Amino acid sequence: MKLANRSLYLQARDVISNLIEEKFQPMQKIPSEHKLSGMLGVSRNTIREAIRTLEQEGVLYSRHGIGTFVVGSKQSLITNISTLESSTKIITDQGYEPGTKNVIYDVRKCPDHLLRHLEIEDSNEQVFYIERVRTADGEPVVYVEDYIPYVSGMDEKYTKDHGESLLEFLQSYGWSVAFSVCTIKAVISNKKVEEKLELKERHALLLLQQVHYSDTGKSLFYSDSYFMSDKFEFNVIRKCV
């Protein structure tokens, strides 16, 4: 179980995550930083950083002087809803291979209901529309529709340069997402979503409707993301003040 001297906090995070999966249930206390440090052969600072990462992912919750407790379930792709992360990172952090399929994109008139969200005044202005199915180890887990204020040539550039992460594509334009305003709804799949996610019958989904902003408050893009409710778990730690 010892980690090599070159190990970093992310490797410690992976080992602790595996320990949680194998030995701990939600609301159980995990070993102390001191004990984990001895078990893994790394410094307490490394353990502390690994635990902090798992807290951000919504897996653990720490109380000073009391201990660190397991929060998340073992069956889902877990993320802390208060931390803005791409589907790519969520899937990768849980040990799965992220993928994308059934990508469709075009340039179209901005839908009327998104004009306010995208801070668009001219109802004839165009957006770059992208729809994708995100996969974990080849299995469909998220269907996403994105609407981005159109920049000339964006569709050609996307054809050549797009990868797994839309956030990385937008950074090529100097657009860096700093935060998002998110509404979460429980919905039942319709025929279109069922086809995209390869569902054989109606299914409960978690719909995240998000407006993504720059650090100056400029609206960068809007997204509707349909997450398989039996595959994803979104956690938030609510603390007393």
- DSSP-derived letter for residue 122 is -
Instruction: Describe the crossing of helices 9-23 and 33-40 by its angle, rounded to 10 degrees.
Output: 110
Q: Is residue 140 over pLDDT 80? A: yes
Average pLDDT value for residue range 217-241: 82
Please indicate whether the domains covering 9-70 and 77-235 agree at the CATH topology level: no
Average pLDDT value for residue range 194-218: 92
Rounded Cα distance, 94 and 92, in Å: 5
Task: Please identify which residue in the block is written with the tokens 């075009």.
Answer: 106
Average pLDDT value for residue range 159-165: 80
Please name the fold of domain 77-235.
Chorismate lyase (3.40.1410)
What the block records as the tokens of 127 is 């957006």
Q: Could you give the percent of the chain with pLDDT greater than 70?
A: 88
CA dihedral sign of residues 74, 77, 83, 89: positive
Instruction: Return the H-helix or E-strand segment holding 166.
Output: helix 166-171
CA dihedral sign of residues 51, 61, 91, 147: negative
Which residue, among 121, 79, 80, 118, has the nearest Cα to 220 in the 3D structure? 118
Taking the complete model, does pTM exceed 0.75, yes or no? no
pLDDT by residue (tens digit) across 19-54?
988 888 777 889 999 999 999 999 999 999 999 888
List C-alpha distances in Å: 108 to 47, 52, 116, 128, 203. 49, 43, 17, 7, 29
The CATH architecture to which 9-70 belongs is: Orthogonal Bundle (1.10)
Average pLDDT value for residue range 145-166: 90
- Domain boundary assignment for the chain: 9-70, 77-235
Which residue, among 53, 94, 60, 57, has the nearest Cα to 77 in the 3D structure? 94
Q: What are the φ and ψ backbone dihedral angles of 151, each rounded to 5 degrees?
A: -115, 135
Give pLDDT, residue 118: 95
